[in-house]
Amino acid sequence: MNKQTIKGRILLHLLLGSSLFLGCTGAAAAEEAVAAADEQAIEAQATDMQEFSLEEYVVTASRMPTKISETATNITVIDQAMIKQKNIKSVAEALIDAGVEVYYEGGSVGDTGGIILNGDSRIIVLVNGRKINVEQRLEQNSLGYNLGMLPSVDNIEKIEVVRGAASTMYGSSAVGGVINIITRKGAEQETTAYSEFGSWNSRNYGITTGGSTGEDGKTTYMVTAGRWSQDYYEYKDHQTGDIVKMPNSKFERNNASIRIDNDLGKDRNLTFYYDHVDEKAGTPIAKPGTMQYDEYGNPYDMHDAAAFRKINQDNVALAYRWKQGENITNNFQIYRNNYRMDWHMPSYSSISRYRDKEDGIEWNQSRPLGKNNTIVSGFDWKMAEVDDRSNPYPENKLRTLGIYVEDHWKFTPKWTLTGGFRYDDANKYDSENTVRFSLNKEISDRSNAFLSWGQFFRGPNAITLFRPYDPLYLPNPNLKPETGDTFTLGYNTVLAGGTKIQASVFKTDVENAFEWTYPNDPITGKVTSYMDNIAEQHKRGLDLRINHPLSDAWDLVLGYSYLRVKQDRKDGLGEQYDITNSNPNYYQLGFNYHQDAWNVNIMGRGATGRDTTRGMWSADGLGNPIIVPENAFSSKRYWVLDISASYQVNEDIKAYAKVFNLTNRAYETTYLWNTVGSQPMASRQFVIGVEARL
């Protein structure tokens, strides 16, 4: 088959998919039902990270159940079995254990933070296929998600981590990839509870119950509830070596969720899902003694001993899945995400009351065009209504609409070609088109290789576009979306001895990247700031993950990732390294022991090549951009050791203990403005707990 014929077939399949979508009658929706219903069919094949299998099915990369061996992307799967085995109690902990980079804006796992995929924190986070990224400010995070918003792990069936550009399927912000948290479906009647205690008066309690109702058992339910609180945390000062208590670092967080599934018969399923999170926490902003400068050049301590935040989140969704004939699957979902945060900073006489209410409708359909062809098409619509009650926005509604189609063509028994197109329209910024192509080769039953290229974009969020006049932060209604593309080459294999290897290299280029600029305020003449399109970014990296069974009882885990980031601000200085890159070389080495009633997990992780010498961008007293010869991190490298162990006392009771940062290392995972070591990670922490089946 010549190139022209192949190109013609690709175009034909995309056009056919578009016509099928546009001519379809019936309702529309998205992926919650895909994940909710299809996980049932593939449940027996789902395994944890240590049992990675190319025969395992995933739904996130293509919005339909697809074997990993036929998916042209780097995918990590974390399931409930692994979560229970390692006594994991937060999504962040699960991701770190699986080799995903996680950073915190504060030093404790109770603080807000983000996730890095393919060297980028601009990712989409889904719960059952429903995007939970909001358009408002989340603490210092402008990415629309933070770790504190994510569901309790007791409610999670599995987490699918997909690296690489995914805007064709999911729209704005899918630059580094997508994380899809798939919640548990009730089955047999079972109730479990846990209670754990730790350093700094940490208390964590949770209960989960699930089952079915009615004689036919066609209605199932899963309910979870939990509470986590901590009085403070301690850190090791990188200058003195002393263990120091972080003032104003207390937090209290409550969560609850309910999922109800109803089998309506004839391949029809209805799912209701609700989750709630509320939190009250101190907001120290930075450790005491972290100095910053005001618009007059006067120094002041950034630490705020009285600041605090209150967060309340309520999300509800209703999803319906049905089949047309034997092979056409439809998924429809409606949802409302409701997020509220009150952020008080008494030391600065400041209060902000952010509100974000999002109503959405999603639909997708998978339809075979023949024995070796499947078209996935759909749309997603969202209306976000945002505000700051203490300083209302002049405009407060941001509407987005995306229409997409993707063709999966298995043109030989071992080769799969995928082509996708998406059109995104918004009422407040330019529309965008994104395209994706990938080629996957099943080398054998135990190996596959892939090549993919995809475009992406990230639209401005509401706070950047709409915020009212503020002497420190100005809106920019002319901000354009960030755009770019990602190229990825990868390989997965399971060797004869059971060794699993996942490897990929990537290249990402970004145009119109968002960067803070520091002009003089046109009204007051003082230094202020706003977000602008002033940078190009170029990222190069690789990811390597190896799981090797040493014996029937011991497993070895090895991980390495490399990331180089350069950016050009079009200021005549050319490309400069991004000094905020906290993990240029990231390493992971772990041992897992599982024998009889014992499970022991030892995980070391660290980074080298961090910036401590280059200058950073700042502004002088007149608002002119300057480079300050300042360190970015307190050390070029760090190494951290975490250990957990559990013992199954009997069939119903398990006891466990964990220690984080055993070696008491001083380090940071994030960089704040032109400060060094201002957001230190927690020092050594101990946790003990008991889990019981009631």
**78-104: pLDDT as tens digits:** 999 899 889 898 898 999 998 898 887
Distance, in Å, from the CA atom of 663 to the CA atom of 683, rounded to the nearest integer, reads: 9
How far are the Cα atoms of 288, 292, 518 from residue 295, in angstroms, in the given order?
A: 21, 10, 11
Bridge partners (DSSP) listed for residue 154: none
Show the CA angle centred on residue 366, arms to residues 364 and 368, nearest 5°. 155
On whether the CB atoms of residues 405 and 19 are closer than 8 A, the answer is no
Residue 472: predicted pLDDT: 67
Residue 624: predicted pLDDT: 54
Of all helices (H) and strands (E), which one includes residue 35? helix 32-42
Q: Report the DSSP pairing between strands 299-301 and 308-324.
A: unpaired
Show the CA angle centred on residue 72, arms to residues 67 and 76, nearest 5°. 65
Distance, in Å, from the CA atom of 464 to the CA atom of 449, rounded to the nearest integer, reads: 41
Residue 60: predicted pLDDT: 82
Neighbours of 551 (CB within 10 A): 8
Distance, in Å, from the CA atom of 149 to the CA atom of 130, rounded to the nearest integer, reads: 14
Fill in the amino acid letter for 473.
Y
On whether the CB atoms of residues 65 and 33 are closer than 8 A, the answer is no
On whether the CB atoms of residues 436 and 429 are closer than 8 A, the answer is no
Residue 106: predicted pLDDT: 64
Residue 522 Ramachandran class (φ > 0 left, ψ -120 to 50 alpha, else beta): alpha
Structure tokens at 46: 């789902």
Query: What is the CB-side half-sphere exposure of residue 476 using CA atoms within 13 A?
Result: 22
CA 323 distance to own-chain centroid:
31
Fill in the amino acid letter for 446.
R
Distance, in Å, from the CA atom of 316 to the CA atom of 334, rounded to the nearest integer, reads: 9
Ordered by where they begin, the domains of the chain are 3-693 (2.40.170.20)
Mean pLDDT of each 10-residue bin along the chain, 694 residues long: 40 35 32 38 34 70 83 89 90 90 70 82 91 78 78 91 91 91 90 96 95 87 95 93 93 95 94 95 87 69 86 96 92 95 78 89 93 93 89 89 95 94 94 95 92 94 81 80 95 92 96 84 74 90 95 95 90 82 94 94 94 54 52 88 96 96 92 82 95 94
User: Of 585, 579, 496, 577, which is closest to residue 544 (Cα–Cα)?
Assistant: 585
Structure tokens at 84: 């229970």
Residue 625: predicted pLDDT: 52
Structure tokens at 223: 């309910």
Structure tokens at 545: 């993950």
Bridge partners (DSSP) listed for residue 406: 376, 420
Query: What is the CB-side half-sphere exposure of residue 627 using CA atoms within 13 A?
Result: 11
Distance, in Å, from the CA atom of 53 to the CA atom of 47, rounded to the nearest integer, reads: 8
Distance, in Å, from the CA atom of 318 to the CA atom of 300, rounded to the nearest integer, reads: 49
Distance, in Å, from the CA atom of 516 to the CA atom of 140, rounded to the nearest integer, reads: 14
Distance, in Å, from the CA atom of 218 to the CA atom of 215, rounded to the nearest integer, reads: 8
Residue % of the chain over a pLDDT of 90: 53
Structure tokens at 31: 């992926």
Query: What is the CB-side half-sphere exposure of residue 498 using CA atoms within 13 A?
Result: 11
CA-CA-CA-CA torsion sign (116, 120, 124, 128): negative
Residue 383: predicted pLDDT: 96
CA 490 distance to own-chain centroid:
21
Distance, in Å, from the CA atom of 499 to the CA atom of 173, rounded to the nearest integer, reads: 34
Residue 545: predicted pLDDT: 95
Distance, in Å, from the CA atom of 484 to the CA atom of 401, rounded to the nearest integer, reads: 20
Structure tokens at 27: 């309702």
Which residues, including other chains, have CB under 8 Å from residue 223's CB and lie 6 or more apart?
A: 208, 209, 210, 256, 257, 258, 259
Supply the DSSP string of 418-471, one letter for each residue. EEEEEEEEESSS--EEEEEEEEEEEEETTEEEEEEEEEEEEPPPHHHHH----S
- What pTM does this model have? 0.87
Which residues, including other chains, have CB under 8 Å from residue 5's CB and lie 6 or more apart?
A: none
Residue 585: predicted pLDDT: 96
